[in-house]
Amino acid sequence: EAEVAQSPRYKITEKSQAVAFWCDPISGHATLYWYRQILGQGPELLVQFQDESVVDDSQLPKDRFSAERLKGVDSTLKIQPAELGDSAMYLCASSFPGQGYGYTFGSGTRLTVV
Amino acid sequence: AQSVAQPEDQVNVAEGNPLTVKCTYSVSGNPYLFWYVQYPNRGLQFLLKYITGDNLVKGSYGFEAEFNKSQTSFHLKKPSALVSDSALYFCAVRPNQAGTALIFGKGTTLSVSS
């Protein structure tokens, strides 16, 4: 069964440092999402891509977060500088375009900022 | 604002008993509804979805969900719980509006005792 690949699985970084996460969606899934899940809460959308274009980044803290999907395949989410409040699980998901399709999620990256 | 509510932080049931995890939503139009399950330090796994048609939807691992339009609810059910069903369950809604992403509830922890 096809999977969404994410790396690293775990990351510990000091505040004010830069950190990056990588996601490789399922082949053929044009839509890619980055969600942030704080412990005890549901996932919240950070950014949505359709191919290489950003569809929605209204909840992305653009002063410190950036996301790209240059060739419309894999994607990178970056935080610079990291803050203590950024500690969370960062989930990548992909789907076919169209509102009726569910997502396939990766295993996530657990970020701890110290 | 569009939202999803899971009124119970935790549901406790004994193995073999039926279980219900509640979900209500506030979304304009006719949304698409989903349930996902999450095990510790893992991504979310798709259980089932409602798009249209029969109000009772059957999904993975013996789970089913009942869509009630008048009550704007989409409760998750299973006739006989297993200890292995213990996990975190998320209800999600996707507005029937092109380009909009899944909106998740805060999650309900299901604990099944032997």
By the 8 A CB rule, do B15 and B114 touch? yes
| A12-29 mean pLDDT | 96
Cα separation, B22 vs B28, whole angstroms:
20
Q: Taking a contact as any Cβ pair under 8 Å apart, which residues of chain A between 84 and 113 contact chain B?
A: 89, 91, 93, 99-100, 102-108, 110
Cα separation, B80 vs A36, whole angstroms:
33
Cα separation, B90 vs B44, whole angstroms:
8
Cα separation, B44 vs A53, whole angstroms:
25
Measured between beta carbons, the chain B residues lying within 8 angstroms of A89 are 41
What does the pLDDT look like over B82-113, one tens digit per residue? 999 999 999 999 887 777 889 999 999 999 99
Tokens of B15: 């193995």
Q: Exposure pattern of A56-95 as b/e (b: 16+ CB <10 Å)?
A: bbeebeeeebbbebeeeeebebebeebeeebbbbbbbbbb
Cα separation, B76 vs A88, whole angstroms:
27
What does the pLDDT look like over B22-80, one tens digit per residue? 999 998 888 899 999 999 878 899 999 999 889 999 999 999 999 999 999 999 999 99
What mean pLDDT, rounded, does chain A reach? 94
